[in-house]
Amino acid sequence: MSGLADPSSAGEPSGSSAKPSRRVAYYYDQDVGNYTYYLGHPMKPHRIRMAHNLIVNYGLTDEVEEDAPDLEGEGKREMNDDLPGLAPEHKFVKNSLTGSRSKHMQVFRPHRATKAQMTRFHTDEYIEFLENVTPETAEAMTGGGVRCLIGEDCPAFDGLFEFCSISAGGSLGGAERLNSGAADIAINWAGGLHHAKKTEASGFCYVNDIVLGILELLRIHPRVLYIDVDVHHGDGVEEAFYTTDRVMTCSFHRFGEFFPGTGDVRDVGMKRGKGYAVNVPLRDGITDESYHTIFKPVIQHIMDYFRPGAVILQMGADSLSGDKLGGFNLTLDGHGECTKFVKSFGVPVMMLGGGGYTTKNVARAWTNETAVMCGKTLPEDLPYNQYMEYYGPRYKLEVLPNNTDDHNAPEYLDKIRTQVIENLRNLPHAPSAQMRQIPSQTISQAIGLTKENDQIDPDDEIEIRLKKFMQDKQLNGGYTPHESDDEDVPMNGDLDYDDSAYSIPGRHRRQGLNGLPRRALPSRIINGNKRNNTLNGQFEDEDDEEDPCGVGRKKKRSFFSNKHAKNGVQGLVNKKLNGLNALTVGNGGIVEFWKENGSINGGGGGGVSRGESPMSVV
């Protein structure tokens, strides 16, 4: 960090410690464009596929010829320096191990995030909910839309969990590659979902891949900086790190009667994290010139005072001119200038997507910013691509400003900038953090060449999942007879009726109870009801919550019930979950509504959510 580049440079890092080129790792999963929230929803994952198609047709992912004469010829990988001590004739072996042999950047298909990885931030119950919810069961599992998926912004659509695993997997993969030192810049346009909370989806975001990526970066770097240029405030990331000084969050967003309604300049963090949340509230219609009169000074002071070891840059394209939900007036050059300025400091950067609801402009912006990170200037005329008809009638790599009035007066911007910089000056210079030795890894894993599950063929994943499913079913299914049991005990899976005596909880089924043989408990008919003997000589009904072993242990219950109560949703919410009474819809907490006049009150009022649909905020 001692050789920070002069921010006034044109974009390439300068100085004694700056590298002549930056190694770029680009993450893309071809399945990400297959998902849709619902017809007419403003968030369209298809935009990521459009951006990738434009990036490919601009030649940023072209492969190197294998018959390239030498390192100085056409085959030289300008963005990926050769490993020390590697003979020139072995360079293509190295390229094949570290990603697609691109002239400008390495291209990877990320490993999809697992539930265990997602629960580094989110709760187990919430991730389990995302895996199991479907459009048909959403009403019952959310208690009528008051839990986990609130309002219409975040619907339960087919393939929801897979979509979240792709988004989170790309950000985790990029963070791991930056940590290993195998790349200087990582790009994941499927990420940047900054509104998701620990136990709740919000603002089109279900799993907060940004928080997961930051947590991974904190394993290596003492301090991480998060910069958000989305038109909406990055409330989910700020909330996650609001009380720590190891992560500084800086958000430039539209403020006022606008989703999510947070991000005042006076919100600076609390406790140990006081001063490490930077918010720059802006007004409608801000232009390139006005935007950078506050963006560059604030980022410059943060880099000087905080001295981060890595930066996560959220490049939401809804701050561009002409966006369907945004209200800013930035052009393609003004938006890309943020990328160029952050890159100029020479710090490892992970660049993510985010918002953006005019798909053709989103594809243009992310293609241009990918080229900026690769150090390339793209021609203005668009190359032929699969979605050429989207870019008419000019077919140019441009986003032009409109005639919207700029409500950000110079006096207002000066006041905000002065207050933010004053808050930064009160911070201790570059706070330290105790670092410990990371868990041991193999050499290939340490430098980012391989991972533990690289040997698994993606085509075999379905077979592995089916095999695991069958094993779990055999383990958790019916009773497995013991060799000392009577011969007339039915075999596992061949029961003639559903008897809870043959569904003893897993620990008792596998090990027996206190060393006793694993035997089926005989059933008796008493007063017309089937009862099972317990080990202490008592009888328990099958429907009782006590287990059939009579040890007072409750049955394992899932977080959400899969049975409808007799009284509908109200009865469902009143059911006991994990032994606790859930709050009812009628008397559970205070429901706040966004009014048209911007106030928050318990009364009515027709407010709008991020998707311009009525909703309440709990």
Cite the active site residues.
Answer: 195
The half-sphere exposure of 133 on its side-chain side, counting CA atoms within 13 A, is 27
CB 131 within 8 A of CB 161: yes
Helix (H) or strand (E) holding 237: helix 235-240
Cα separation, 420 vs 414, whole angstroms: 10
Give the long-range contacts of residues 334-339, CB within 8 A, separation 24 or more. Answer: 334/287, 334/288, 334/291, 334/292, 335/229, 335/365, 335/368, 335/369, 335/399, 336/365, 336/368, 336/369, 336/372, 337/288, 337/292, 338/227, 338/229, 338/295, 338/313, 339/313, 339/315, 339/369, 339/372, 339/373
Tokens of 393: 């009638």
- Residue type for 481, please? P
Cα separation, 491 vs 106, whole angstroms: 54
Q: Which residues pair with 106 in a beta bridge?
A: 25
Residue that is written with structure tokens 């293609």 in the block: 367
Give the ranges where 44-123 is alpha helix by DSSP (H): 46-57, 91-97, 115-118
Q: How many residues does the chain have?
A: 618
Q: Which residues pair with 36 in a beta bridge?
A: none
Q: Provide the b/e sequence for 127-159 (b: ≥16 CB within 10 Å).
A: bbbbebbeeeebbbbbbebbbbbbbbbbbbbee
How many other C-beta atoms are found inside a 10 Å radius of the C-beta of residue 118? 26
Q: Which residues pair with 279 in a beta bridge?
A: 251
Cα separation, 352 vs 348, whole angstroms: 13
Angle between helices 288-306 and 410-425 (to 10 degrees): 10
The half-sphere exposure of 232 on its side-chain side, counting CA atoms within 13 A, is 32
DSSP state of 538: -
Cα separation, 358 vs 337, whole angstroms: 20
Helix (H) or strand (E) holding 179: helix 160-180
- Nearest by Cα to 406 from 329, 322, 293: 329
Residue that is written with structure tokens 């995030």 in the block: 113
Cα separation, 62 vs 224, whole angstroms: 32
CB 248 within 8 A of CB 226: yes
3-state secondary structure of 290: helix
Cα separation, 382 vs 394, whole angstroms: 9
Expressed in angstroms, the distance from the first to the final Cα of the chain is 43
